[in-house]
Amino acid sequence: MIKKSSRKKSMFWKQIPANPALKQTAPASAAAVNSTAYAVPASAGAHALVDRAQNQMLRQYETDIKASFDNIGPVLKDILSQQHHHDFKRWANRELFNKLHVTLDENEWDVSKADHSQAVFQNLFAKTLFAQFMRLSENFFKNDPLKGQNRQEAESLFRNAGIHAVGIAPCADGRLAHFVSYVLRLPYSSARRKAHAGALFDISESVRNWVFVEHTRFREGRPNSADEPTRYLKMAVYHFSKADPSHQGCAAHGSNDAKAAEAALTKLQDFRQAIENRFGCGSTVETMLIGINTDDDSLKIHIPNEQGFVSLDRFIETDKLYKQTLGMSAIDASEAIETAIDGCNMQHCATPPREQMKKLITWFVTKNFSQIEYVNTYEDGCYSDIGHAERFIGIGNGFEEVQLRNLSYYSYLDTVEEGVNDVDVGIKIFKGLNVKNGLPVPIIIRCDYDGRVPGSRDRAEQKALRIEKAIHNRYQELSVCGLVQTMATLRDHTGCQSAEKITG
Ligand SMILES: [Zn+2]
C-alpha cells in the first residue's frame, strides 16, 4: 500500500536530537552506537550477507541529522512565541543552542525592527538551516561519521575488478543523495559523484575528468601506473517508483521509467564513444547502468556483456535476489548471485560479463542487500516519504557531506546558465515543499577549490558569488519576498576540511 508522501509525517519531525552535540557523537566504531535505541527487531529478516552493525550506525546518523533540520520550524515558532523574555535576543540564541546546537548572530533576533512577522520567521528559518548545514559539514569531515574516509578496502576490490577510478552520475533528485554511502555502501571518498537532473551528465566535463585521472596515472602512478590494464568505471543511475510509477518517477523524464533508463544509457554510450574516438580504442572505459526503485532502494543492475556493452532489457533485480537468497549461507548466497548474473545474459543470448565485472556486480548486490534490509527494518519495507521531501537545494560542485536520502536536491553546475534546467526543476519541487507553506527555499551554493593552486580560492569565491547573484536574478519574484534565501560556501577539496561560509 502506498503511504502518504508528506514530510510532516516523517518520524524525524517528532524527535529532538538525542545527542547534544554531533561533534562529540561520531561513533568510534559501529559497536559504539547505542544499540538499544536502534536494535533490529527479532522478526526482521536475517540475511547472511547483511551488515547489521553498519545498518544501526547509518540509521543513527540519518535520524540525528534529519531531526536537526526538521525541528528548525517548530523550535523557532516556540522561541518566537516567547518574546516577553528579558534580553530576548540572548535568551533566544541560548534556547536555539540548547535545542538545535547552533547559534545565530544576535542581531538576527531583532524582531522589534521588523514590520512583518512572517518575514522574520523566514529569515530565521533560512539562517538556522544554513547554520545547521555548516555544523553537519564540520562533523562530516572532522569526525567521518560514515567511515567514508577509509577507502582502502573498496579501492582494493575495485582494483581486483580491473577498475582504477569510479565516476557516478545519479539523478539530482534528493531520493538518490544517499546512493553512494547507503545504497551501495561505498566510502564517499572512493567515487566521484556528479548529479544532474535525469542523470543527464555532461559528456565533455566527464571526458575532461577522465583525462585528468589518466594523466595522474601517467605522471604520478596514482592510483596505479598507466601501463596497468585497468579501466575507469562510469556509472549512470536513473530512478523509478514501483509504488507510484506515474507520479514519483524521475521528474526530468516526466516519470517515464523507460525514457529515464534510455536517456542514461545513451549518455553512457556517448561517453564511451567520445573517449574511444578521441583517444583510440585502447582507451575504452567501463560503463554501468543502474536503476533504483526510490520506494525501497532496491536496484535494477543492467548486466554488461563480455565487451562491456549494456542493454536496457538485460538486468537483475536485487529485491528478488534478496528474497531468493534469504536463509542461505553467505557462500551459497554469493554463488546464487553470480549464477543469476550469468543466467541473465544467457537468457538474452548475450555473452557473460568479464569475470572481474561479475565479481564487482556481485559485491554491489551484496552491499545493496544491507540497504534493502535497512529499509525493511526501519521503514517497513517502503519509505514513508516516497516523494520529494528535500530540506534544501545544493548547487555548484562538491557537497560530499550530503550523503542522506531526501536531505537535499543537488545539482552540479558551473554557471546558472548551464545548469538552469536542473535549478528550475529544484525550484519547482520546493514551491510544493516550502513556498506553499510559507517557508523560503534555502539554496546553498558550493564551489570547491584546490588549496595547492595559487588563486584557486579567490576564483572559487568569485564564482560562488556570481552563481548566488544569478539565482536571485532568475528567481526575482521569490527572492524579493524573502522566499529564496542563499548561502555561498567554499571548500578546499584536497583534504578533509569542512565548508567555509563566504561572509560580507
Ligand atoms: Zn530524476
Asked if pLDDT for residue 17 goes beyond 50, the answer is no
Separation of CA 263 and ligand 1 centre (Å): 11
Which domains are present in the chain? 69-143+388-501 (3.30.1330.140), 152-378 (3.40.1050)
Would the CA dihedral through 451, 456, 462, 466 be positive or negative? negative
Tell me the CA–centroid distance for residue 294 and ligand 1, in Å. 10
CA gap 157, 273 in Å, rounded: 26
Taking residue 308's Cβ as centre, other Cβ atoms within 10 Å add up to 17
Give me the pLDDT at residue 22, please: 42
Cα–Cα distance, 37 to 56 (Å, whole number) = 9
Which pTM value belongs to this model? 0.88
Using pLDDT thresholds of 50, 70 and 90, give the confidence band for residue 364: very high
Tell me the per-residue pLDDT of 234-281, one tens digit each, with 9 for 90 and over. 999 999 999 899 889 998 898 899 999 999 999 999 999 999 999 986
The predicted structure's pLDDT at residue 28: 35
Distance in Å, CA 372 to ligand 1 centroid: 20
Q: 346-373: string of b/e by CB count within 10 Å (b at 16+)?
A: eeeebebbbebbbbbbbbbbbbbbbbbb
Tell me how far the alpha carbon of residue 73 lies from the centroid of ligand 1, in angstroms: 28
465-504 per-position pLDDT tens digit: 999 999 999 999 999 999 999 999 999 999 899 999 998 6
User: What distance in angstroms lies between residue 249's CA and the mean position of ligand 1's atoms?
Assistant: 7
Handedness of CA 15, 18, 23, 28 (dihedral sign): negative
Report the distance separating Cα 377 and Cα 38, nearest Å.
10
pLDDT score recorded for residue 96? 97
| 24-47: pLDDT as tens digits | 333 333 333 333 334 444 344 589
Q: What angle do CA 360, 365, 368 make, to 5 degrees?
A: 125
Exposed e or buried b for every residue in 95-124, given b needs 16+ CB within 10 A? bbeebbbbebeeebbeeeeeeeeeebbbbb
Closest CA to 13 of 385, 381, 372, 435: 385
**What contacts 334, CB < 8 A, 6 or more positions away?**
49, 362, 366
**Residues whose beta carbons lie less than 5 angstroms from ion ligand 1:** 171, 173, 250, 252
Nearest to 22 by CA among 69, 54, 55, 56: 69
Map grid coordinates 577522465 to a residue: 210
d(CA 343, CA 315): 10
51, 64, 70, 173: which is the annotated catalytic residue?
Answer: 173
pLDDT at 115: 61
Active-site annotation holds for 173: yes
Ligand 1: distance of its center to the CA of 199 in Å?
7
Pairing of strands 484-492, 500-501: antiparallel
pLDDT band at 410; cut points 50, 70, 90: confident
CA separation, residue 191 to residues 49, 232, 315 (Å):
23, 11, 23
- The string of pLDDT tens digits covering residues 90-129 is 999 999 999 999 999 999 998 876 667 788 999 999 999 9
Q: Which residues pair with 269 in a beta bridge?
A: none
Q: How many CB atoms lie within 10 A of CB 459?
A: 13
- Contact predicate 461/447, CB 8 Å: yes
Q: How far away, in angstroms, is 253 Cα from ligand 1 center?
A: 7
Q: How does pLDDT run across 153-169, given as a tens digit for each residue?
A: 999 999 999 999 999 99
Q: For the purposes of burial, counting CB atoms within 10 Å of the CB of 176, is it exposed (0-12), middle (13-18) or buried (19 or more)?
A: buried
What's the CA-to-centroid distance between 296 and ligand 1, angstroms?
16
